[in-house]
Amino acid sequence: MNFGLRGTGGFDRILPMKLTVACCFATALSLSAWAGSEDWTRIYLAENPVVTRDGKSFYFTWNDHIWYAPTAGGTARMVSSAAARQSAPVLSPDGTRLAFLSDCDGGYHLYECPTAGGPVRQLSYHSESTRPWCYTPDGKDLICTAWRDDDGDSDAMRVIRLPATARGPETLLFDLYATAPSLSPDGKQLLFLYGAGSKGPFRKRRHSVTSQKGEIWLYDFATKKFRCIIERKWDVRSPVWAPDGKSFYYLTTELGGIRNLARHTFADGKD
């Protein structure tokens, strides 16, 4: 699928007002440099796709910026500021708000803005990294991964709940290494990736063909219990709930060592 490119647009106020003048100048310099050094006639190796509710378009990350394009193919439009780096776009359940990471104010922080365009709100203020993964079903909070009390160990990553509608304290969901969290459609369970370099208590690595093998686990908020759903000798990554809440998608290297998409059904435990 090919996408042509179009210039900047969309969220005109993506940066704090105190940076507007400086960013306008930086944008002009950046666009001038890109024009001479980058081939933007085609998009390769785009990341972090998130599809709109109607399935007709999607947001994605490419070249340190967030873009918007039709799912059927066509022209991609940059919707973030060219003066800063943005990544990890996440859509609210009603599709009216977009959360993302940006370094527009120095370090990386979490921001949110209306998808129709408008002012941007800063959501995270911690000096350590915070990455958004999904909204809660009511759209009031974001499920994020965050580095806390980092001593250089990958096990410092935790899953937190961060308020999205008003500034407030973050909430630790459980004190255990986890990444790539995906909240169930009813908000009662959480899939997450465990392993992939972790040294935590759940780590098995039995019959593994790689030391970086991941495992997909399920956490139930009511019972506060964990259950391993996918544990293979091959690598598995990126669990994402299906809209019906009865299955989920994930990536696996089981076929040929290259990550391909698979679907796991809870009822029969089959892939």
Which percentage of the chain shows pLDDT scores above 90? 54
Residue type, 88: A
What is the spatial distance between Cα 162 and Cα 169, in angstroms, rounded to a whole number?
A: 7
Whether residue 166 contacts residue 159, with contact meaning beta carbons closer than 8 Å, is answered with no
pLDDT at 262 over 50: yes
Per-residue pLDDT band for 129 (boundaries 50, 70, 90) equals confident
What values do phi and psi take at 48, rounded to 5? 55, 50
C-alpha count within 13 angstroms, C-beta hemisphere, residue 74 = 9
Tokens read off for 137: 């079903």
Tokens 């994605």, residue located: 60
pLDDT at 22: 31
pLDDT at 37: 55
What confidence tens digit (pLDDT) does each residue in 155-201 have?
Answer: 778 999 999 998 899 999 999 889 999 999 999 999 999 875 444 54
**What three-state secondary structure class fits 36?**
helix
Q: What is the DSSP annotation of 59-106?
A: EEEETTEEEEEETT-EEEEE-S-TTS-EEEEEE-TTSSEEEEEEEEES
Q: Which of 60-64, 113-117, 125-129, 193-197 has the lowest mean pLDDT?
A: 193-197
pLDDT at 107: 84
pLDDT at 263: 95
* Strand pairing report for 86-91 and 97-105: antiparallel
pLDDT at 110 over 90: yes
Tokens read off for 80: 């973030």
pLDDT at 1: 44
What confidence tens digit (pLDDT) does each residue in 42-77 have?
Answer: 888 899 999 999 999 999 999 999 999 999 998 999
* Mean pLDDT computed over every residue of the chain: 81
pLDDT at 248: 97
What values do phi and psi take at 73, rounded to 5? 100, 160
H helix intervals, the chain:
20-37
pLDDT at 25 over 60: no
Tokens read off for 157: 């990553």
Average pLDDT of the segment spanning 203-224: 72
